[in-house]
Structure 1
Amino acid sequence: MNAPSDQSPISASSPASESADFGPAKRGAIESIRVWTDMIKFAHSVFALPFAIMATFLAGRSLPGQRPSWLHLVLIVVCMVAARSVAMTFNRIVDARIDARNPRTATRPLPAGKLTMLQAWVFLAIFFVTYAIGCFGFYIKFDNPWPMLLGGPVLMMLCGYSFAKRFTRWSHFWLGCAIGLSPLAAWIAIHPATLGWPAVLLWVTVMLWMAGFDIIYACQDIDVDRKEGLFSLPSKIGPGAALMITRVAHVLVVGLLVLVGKLSGLGWVYFVGVGIVAVLLLIENLSVRPDDFSKVNLAFFTINGIVSLLLATCTVIDVLMNMPPVL
């Protein structure tokens, strides 16, 4: 998946001495964690996870007490993080050779030799098992079999993105559609009987939002994509036309967020959040021009991270404000 990756090489850790000083060993463990989190861009969980939490609280209004339990939230986070880790690791494995030929991505852990393919596959397997356990947890604790039944297709959709750029310029929307499953899947996991238009529209909203800013980020790789024969909207139709698609997508995002709020009966806190999100998306789209990609990282990570966190926070506050107190 497209993600910033201009990371400096991580130095090898020093061997632990025979004395009681375990400092080097501890530093080595920390560096290893950094390598793993760098490979899957763990910080980018901020894009999808807040929307899953948002859907969790919206669906949770139909549960006893009108709110999700802590166990619901824990299982949602476990499934989200695990599924994303599987998909990101698979993407890094599939794209390792291409990444090695791209100066922007050559310092990623696999092409840079910080991790081996075997280590990456083991990492993927661990998180696949974690994901399966999380899905099974909804059946064991809440008698909900749907996460188990749909968990496989969701992973296939997520991992399928790794091949989409090889045959369609619309791969950005594949990514958006896959990431957009996060609120839809969370809703099904919490209360499948209440699945309706708000959940579906939230899925479409995330799809358009994610596809839009993935197009922005892909503008950095136009030359590499053309050289490698990869498909992306910026490389096929040019950055100007591609960025126009982003703008249209983000206008639709704001409209859909308003519709989700209306259909869900949300109040002023949510709509204040939507208003701020509209301003942030405007700033994002004005920050990048067809002839100037210097602010791509601002548009890609900073602004979109704020968008997802802000919207989820406003939604949760709005839901909690309209709930009866827990006795």
Structure 2
Amino acid sequence: MNMFNKLKAFFRLIKFEHTVFALPFAYLGMLLACGGWPRFNVFFWVTLAMASARTAGMLLNRLIDLKIDAQNPRTQNRPILTGEFSVNAAIASTAAALALFFLSAFMLNPLCFKLSFVALFLLIAYHYVKRFSFLCHFTLGLVLAVAPMGGWLGVTGTFSWPPTLLSLAVLFWVAGFDIIYSLQDVHFDKSHGLHSIPVEFGQALALKISAYCHLVTAVCLVFFGFVGHLGFIYGIGVALCAILLKLEHSLLSEEDLGRIDTSFFVINGWIGILLFVFTFLDIFR
């Protein structure tokens, strides 16, 4: 296989397109901390930290869940299982991504470097939680909730309420859509002793719990706007995001789960982008 095909397999393996879920929120934390656009070096190291952490997290997922994914019809065509991208290459890529992550955190400030080890623990822990608890969705939410706080800390080096509220919004947003995504694997998870909210409580209640998670997200975004002293333009962005969240749930029912991919990727991808754009416009108005 030539280098171009290996690179394509690598991006498929880490689902590069899903970067839109976390990166906009890291930039939001960074913009709010600066009250505008940050210095180039801060922007660069925050971007590299987020990209490398996400890459490491996805590769760890593929490596830790290798045996499980090999048995799941939905995941059997992943490049690491088809031979398009070898296990050894995945291990080497994980090590490289983690090295870049630690370097980026070190270059930002001492607190970011110390917390980078906490982030690594979360990246690893998430993949094991589903083996014993249905709270795995909230663990994934916590992993991605690091993004806005990380962007803020990269600028200030101190904790504060605005990024905390934004991180809570991300936590419940991600947990909500991960509950939806896990509906695809209910039968497989049950037969292999894996835990999730749909497995534990059934599909109908899982959809309701997901909806309540997204309601909490909307509330957190409203309070984030007040605490962060954001204005009308940001409010429009939050309203549009709330409409998209409502649309996401209107597309699904216990009897019809055929549009999970649209609900999961298309709609949730737009939520991060819209919120970033409208917050950016509000800050620079």
1:172 is matched with which residue? Answer: 137
1:256 is matched with which residue? Answer: 220
1:97 is matched with which residue? Answer: 67
1:245 is matched with which residue? Answer: 209
Question: Is 1:111 the equivalent of 2:85?
Answer: no
Q: C-alpha displacement at 1:192, in angstroms?
A: 2.7
List gaps (5 residues or longer) in structure 2: none
Q: Following the alignment from structure 2 to structure 1, what is the Cα–Cα distance between the partners of residues 49 and 254?
A: 38
Q: Following the alignment from structure 1 to structure 2, what is the Cα–Cα distance between the partners of residues 76 and 43?
A: 18
Q: C-alpha displacement at 1:273, in angstroms?
A: 0.3
Amino acid in the other structure paired with 2:243: V
Q: Following the alignment from structure 1 to structure 2, what is the Cα–Cα distance between the partners of residues 255 and 153?
A: 27
What pairs up with 1:137-156 in 2 under 5 angstroms? 137-138=107-108, 144-156=109-121
1:161 is matched with which residue? Answer: 126
1:270 is matched with which residue? Answer: 234
1:6 is matched with which residue? Answer: none
Q: C-alpha displacement at 1:105, in angstroms?
A: 0.3
2:177 is matched with which residue? Answer: 213
Q: C-alpha displacement at 1:67, in angstroms?
A: 3.6
2:4 is matched with which residue? Answer: 30
The number of equivalent residue pairs is 285
Q: Following the alignment from structure 1 to structure 2, what is the Cα–Cα distance between the partners of residues 307 and 148?
A: 29
5, 11, 25: which one pairs with 1:51? 25
1:25 is matched with which residue? Answer: none
1:192 is matched with which residue? Answer: 157
Amino acid in the other structure paired with 1:52: A
Question: Is the 8 Å Cα contact of residues 165 and 171 (structure 1) preserved in structure 2?
Answer: yes
Q: Following the alignment from structure 1 to structure 2, what is the Cα–Cα distance between the partners of residues 316 and 148?
A: 27
Using the size of structure 2 for normalisation, the TM-score is 0.97
Q: C-alpha displacement at 1:282, in angstroms?
A: 0.3
Corresponding residue SS for 1:265: coil
1:60 is matched with which residue? Answer: 34
Q: Following the alignment from structure 1 to structure 2, what is the Cα–Cα distance between the partners of residues 269 and 72?
A: 26
Amino acid in the other structure paired with 1:116: S
Q: C-alpha displacement at 1:200, in angstroms?
A: 0.9
Q: Following the alignment from structure 1 to structure 2, what is the Cα–Cα distance between the partners of residues 319 and 29?
A: 42
Corresponding residue SS for 1:258: helix
174, 194, 198: which one pairs with 1:234? 198
Q: Following the alignment from structure 1 to structure 2, what is the Cα–Cα distance between the partners of residues 76 and 289?
A: 39
Question: Is the 8 Å Cα contact of residues 100 and 112 (structure 1) preserved in structure 2?
Answer: no
* Bigger proportion of residues as helix: 2
Extract structure 1 runs of 4+ deviating beyond 4 A. none
Amino acid in the other structure paired with 2:40: W
Residues 221-255 of structure 1 deviation map (CA, whole Å, 9 limit, x = unaligned) = 00000011100111121110011001011111111
Larger Rg: 1
1:120 is matched with which residue? Answer: 90
Question: Is the 8 Å Cα contact of residues 158 and 178 (structure 1) preserved in structure 2?
Answer: yes
Q: Following the alignment from structure 2 to structure 1, what is the Cα–Cα distance between the partners of residues 65 and 235?
A: 40
Question: Is the 8 Å Cα contact of residues 183 and 202 (structure 1) preserved in structure 2?
Answer: yes
249, 252, 255: which one pairs with 1:285? 249
Question: Is the 8 Å Cα contact of residues 6 and 84 (structure 2) preserved in structure 1?
Answer: no
123, 131, 144: which one pairs with 2:101? 131
Corresponding residue SS for 1:121: helix
Amino acid in the other structure paired with 2:6: S
Q: Following the alignment from structure 1 to structure 2, what is the Cα–Cα distance between the partners of residues 75 and 320?
A: 22
Q: C-alpha displacement at 1:81, in angstroms?
A: 0.6
Identity %: 34
Question: Is 1:299 the equivalent of 2:269?
Answer: no
Amino acid in the other structure paired with 1:241: L
